[in-house]
Amino acid sequence: MSPEAFFRELLGKADIAVDGGRPWDLQVHEPRAFARVLRDGAIGFGEAFMEGWLDCERVDQMAERAFRADLSNQIAVRTALLEVLKVRLSPLGSRTRSFEIGERHYDTGNDLFQVMLDPYMVYSCGYWQRAGDLAAAQRDKLELTCRKLQLQPGQRVLDIGSGFGSFARYAAEHYGVSVVGVSVSQQQIDLARRLCTGLPVEFRYADYRDLNEPFDRIVSIGMVEHVGRRYYRDFFDACERCLKPAGLLLLHTVGAQREEATNAWFDKYIMPGVEFPTFANVAAAGTQLVIEDFQKWEGRHYDRTLMAWFERFDRGWAGLREHYGDVFYRMWKLYLQGCAAAFRVDRLCVWQFVFSKGGVPGGYSFGHNYPLD
């Protein structure tokens, strides 16, 4: 069977046609793409899409169908094995790679993220329980996080992986706390400092392993995915070292239903070294702390967030095109819409853990309901 015939038959199992007229159908502009994908797997598909050999109006709908039909397990077992070995042998989460992710992804350009994100510049999942738009969803996520941490005026808070300073800014403005944020992205820090001017907030270009000072609360939102499973214990050791007795840690992370290799194209072009933890990974690594609360968010929360980011990115593309170019547009579309599909089918989800150091006197009182008035 030729590569083209193989892929036509394979895609047909997910109701995806080659050169069809529906939004989720795959358009093939270069016939060599079939052999390239068969040879190189995820990287081959991603690079062919970036170069315009392949296209799709709605990548999220195509990927959703592919996920539901489990097409990825029917292609090139040998290629998949090589990708697993590559992921396992690379030094994910090492000090060197922790700064590489800052340079490769988060330093892509503040102009891009200012177009794509909400006014608070939150680059993580919004909370859409009651929100009708991206800005409201991100405000609700920040408020929910502050309530779970039980912030009080005068407390000192550590934000590991502080991004553009969204949590630090919100917590300082609304809860009267001081915040120290650490990040491996210098561009994020530069913008965060400007956005937090006049607030009791400090940002440092540093690795979490270098921290050794006391805090009442610690928060980490969308950062542990970059730590790497072999370094989870180091992460929790740093948190335990810096947390005051009875202090709280809130960990917000993308979670995987099972431990598996990261998509090779995603690892190469989007977030090098990323690994999504399983619940067992987190629970086993954080044994020196007490799990006080756990909340799983439905995949729809990140699905809606990613699609909202793409809509804003697409609307603002005219002002970004000269700087980034059309290959970047196709790469970013594949990233945002493809990830949205993974959450839509619950291949990935979002978790929020609350840990304490030694337990909370009288117990952690918030339970599982966090009303947002």
Residue 351 β-bridge partners: 253, 296
Q: Which residue has the tokens 């709605």?
A: 58
| Structure tokens that stand for 286 in this block | 């954080």
339 annotated active-site: yes
| Structure tokens that stand for 132 in this block | 């009708």
Cα-based distances in Å from 136 to 140, 319, 370: 6, 25, 16
Candidate list 56, 146, 242, 339, residue with the active-site label:
339
Dist CA 310 CA 202 (whole Å): 31
Q: What angle do CA 205, 87, 41 make, to 5 degrees?
A: 120
Beta-strand pair 215-221/243-256: parallel
3-state secondary structure the chain: CCHHHHHHHHHHCCCCCECCCCCCCEEECCCCHHHHHHHHHHHHHHHHHHCCCEECCCHHHHHHHHHHCCHHHHCCHHHHHHHHHHHHHCCCCCHHHHHHHHHHHHCCCHHHHHHHCCCCCCCCCCCCCCCCCHHHHHHHHHHHHHHHHCCCCCCEEEEECCCCCHHHHHHHHHHCCEEEEEECCHHHHHHHHHHCCCCCEEEEECCHHHCCCCEEEEEEECCHHHCCHHHHHHHHHHHHHHEEEEEEEEEEEEEECCCCCCCHHHHHHCCCCCCCCCHHHHHHHCCCCEEEEEEEECCHHHHHHHHHHHHHHHHCHHHCHHHHCHHHHHHHHHHHHHHHHHHHCCCEEEEEEEEECCCCCCCCCCCCCCCCC
Question: Any idea which residues carry the catalytic annotation?
Answer: 339
